[in-house]
Amino acid sequence: MNKMIIAALTALLACGSALAADASPNAAADSKCEAAAIDKNGKPLVGAAKSSFMQKCHREAMHKTDCEARALSKDGKPLAGAAKNSFMRKCEEDMKQGAPAAQ
């Protein structure tokens, strides 16, 4: 009886957390970061190591989306090819250093 109650509560909590994750605007980044949270031996990260990794991963994902939003030419059209790659590389480096990316 106790095992059934524990199983039901566990399933309920799992469903609730899954719904909360899907409701966030960064659900794709969450799932990518969660999937990448693996140590060098192939085991999932846990505890402080996982928390640190997830924070870094989300921060980098936010930088990337910020840079992609600004990857526009002077006439407002999206950059493509080598111009976009160059802009993205510089923008992400500037974001890591804390400087605003120039357009």
Is the CA virtual torsion 36, 48, 92, 61 positive or negative?
positive
Q: What pLDDT does 22 receive?
A: 46
Looking at the structure of the chain, the number of domains it has is: 1
Instruction: Confirm whether 62 is domain-assigned.
Output: yes
Interatomic CA distance for residues 16 and 20, integer angstroms = 6
Rounded to the nearest integer, the mean pLDDT of the chain is 79
Q: What pLDDT does 78 receive?
A: 92
pLDDT at 21 over 80: no
Instruction: Confirm whether 102 is domain-assigned.
Output: no
The predicted model scores a pTM of 0.52
Instruction: Confirm whether 81 is domain-assigned.
Output: yes
